[in-house]
Amino acid sequence: MTEVILHVYDVTNSGSAKTNNTIVQINKIFKDGIGLGGIFHSAVQVYGDEEWSFGFCEQGSGVFSCPSSKNPMYTYRECIVLGNTNFSIFKVNQILRELSREWPGDSYDLLSKNCNHFCDEFCERLGVPKLPAWVNRFANAGDAAMEVAGNTALRLRQAKTEIVSASKVAYRFLMGINANSAVTTESPSNSSRGSPRFQSTWLKSLVSIGNKPSNSELENEGEDTLQQRQQPQPTEPLRQSSRQDT
């Protein structure tokens, strides 16, 4: 049985002194002042003087070790005893070999797979409590926010697709109603033709039309009148004067 110790650092490897000082101040306010959390690097020490952590590299495993509390990339803050592991040094080395294969350096992600996530996994396999929540709270909050944003965007896209599909269905439905209405209005089998009101109106029109002369009769009558007008009228004989010449 041996102690498992967590080493915590302020992340001050930005390359800018101003940025590094800002991070230190943020950690003092949010961790020391409020107890909420901050921007931290962590590593786990078990059996010996080395601490184990995880970081980015283009090739090979991202798991690495360095002398405990002596990582030159960060500013050391504190150590926390997480508990005791019952595993032997041989078993711990076996766990580290497995983690080295499972955590390649190019899989590093600041929000979802960073050094603090690695230490959580390592502690779980050693059978000791995980890291205090404040160590990785900012990364977890950022990862949750990214996940929520991604899910929201996906739901908006799905809703947009459903709205477009529903609009297309409604449009086709309305077009079908309009087409059926046009066919019904122009069709000889219109149901209104069978109604008594329509039949009465249609019969009255038919009777009134039957009382009028046909078009051919009007044409013949017109020709006879024209011929009568063109015939010469007979002239009356001149009457002789009643006075006789003497």
Q: Which range in 76-85, 146-155, 164-173, 199-208 is most confidently predicted, on average pLDDT?
A: 76-85
Query: Structural domain tally of the chain?
Result: 1
| 3-state SS class at 109 | strand
Q: How far apart are CA 55 and CA 69, in angstroms?
A: 16
Domain span holding position 92: 2-147
Query: For residue range 2-35, what is the model confidence (pLDDT) as tens digits?
Result: 999 999 999 998 889 999 999 999 999 988 888 8
For 195: left if phi > 0, alpha if psi spans -120 to 50, otherwise beta; the answer is beta
C-alpha to C-alpha distance for 99 and 94, rounded to whole angstroms: 9
pTM summary value? 0.58
Question: Is residue 38 in some structural domain?
Answer: yes
Residue 3: beta bridge partners? 84
Chain centroid to Cα 29, Å, comes to: 38
Q: Please check whether residue 125 is in contact with residue 93, taking contact to mean a CB–CB distance below 8 angstroms.
A: no
| Residue for token pair 């955590």 | 103
Residue 76 counted as domain residue: yes
Catalytically active residues, by annotation: 41, 115
Looking from the CA of 231 toward its CB, the CA atoms found within 13 Å total 7
Q: Residue 130 in contact with residue 121, Cβ under 8 Å? A: no
Residue 239: count of CB within 10 angstroms of its CB: 6
Q: Does residue 107 belong to any structural domain of this protein?
A: yes
The answer to whether residue 85 is domain-embedded is yes
Q: How far apart are CA 216 and CA 77, in angstroms?
A: 119
Give the Å distances, CA to CA, from 232 to 199, 223, 229.
53, 17, 8
Q: Is residue 51 part of a domain?
A: yes
Quick count: other Cβ atoms within 10 Å of Cβ 218? Answer: 10
Assigned domain for 19 exists: yes
**Mean pLDDT taken over the chain:** 76
Q: What are the tens digits of pLDDT across the range 77-123?
A: 999 999 999 999 999 999 999 999 999 999 999 888 999 999 999 99
The CATH number covering residue 48 comes to 3.90.1720.30
Residue 109: inside a domain: yes
